[in-house]
A = this chain, B = another copy of it.
Amino acid sequence: MAGRDVRFHLQGGAEAAMTWAPDHPLDMLIRKLESIAHLSAEERRAIAGLPTLVRLLKAGQDIVRDDDRPSQCCLVLEGWACRYKLISQGKRQIFSFHVPGDIPDLQSLNLKAMDHSLCALTSTKVAFIPHHSVLALTARHPRIAAIFWRDTLVEAAIFREWMVGMGRRTASQAIAHQICELYLKLKAVGLAENHLYRLPVTQSDIADALGLTNVHVNRVLRELRTKGLVTIVGGTLRIHDWRELTGFCEFDPTYLHLERQAA
């Protein structure tokens, strides 16, 4: 299998320079799935057997667009991506941030047309997996199908939590909550530790995620810094006092439905 020269159709008809990836890309997926469910050795093998097409994207580049009908899923390997929708007057709402291990458009397996877009926030490495391969996998392994379903359910739980942030939390609490959530998500796939992680997104991105302006995000971050809770230097975020921070924004990680709990 590995090494075979395969070409998929990419979004917008762009036929990209492509490299055939060995097992490695799927290790990231397995790590992610194991953060929300247990996998048997056989299930891991089955997942590792998925064909992938690895591709590099520049920051700002769209991966899938609103109204597209993708024939493949996209697995983030490096960098950050986000789901978003544009509305009138250049306004943008970001629905989720995606980090390595995530499959942001898993839903396209069951919902033919995209109702939002997906783009790279940083330069990003992604692996494309054809729908039919995923469907073949889930047909043979109903438990894996359930885990994929579960993943989309956890995403929905995260959407709900963001709704709480936008609807019923102050801007500072919402941002603090976001910071806690990202820490646990990254930690679950081994990309954060010691209350420290790379946060390669702009303040405008955070603003569009929480329904604020970049100006206000900036002030709130200063406030969190002044309070000694969180500092960001050179794109690296440090949480100085986890207890204090989680208390401040009433962060309860239950909604992430993680298998092994972090703290």
Contacts and interface: CB of A to CB of B under 8 A. Distances in A.
A91 interface: yes
A150 to B, nearest CB: 5
Interface stretch (A16-24, A139-147, A219-227): A139-147
A260 interface: no
A48 interface: no
Interface in A215-263: 250, 254-255, 257
A60 interface: no
Interface string A102-119: 000001001101011000
Looking at chain A's contact residues, the main secondary structure is: helix
A110 B146 contact: yes
**Interface size grouping (class) on chain A:** 35 or more
Interface string A148-160: 0110111111011
13 contacts: A93-B163, A107-B153, A110-B153, A111-B257, A113-B257, A115-B255, A139-B142, A142-B142, A145-B145, A156-B159, A159-B159, A159-B160, A163-B211
Interface of A: 67, 83, 85, 87-88, 91-93, 95, 107, 110-111, 113, 115-116, 139, 142, 145-146, 149-150, 152-157, 159-160, 162-164, 166-169, 208, 210-211, 250, 254-255, 257
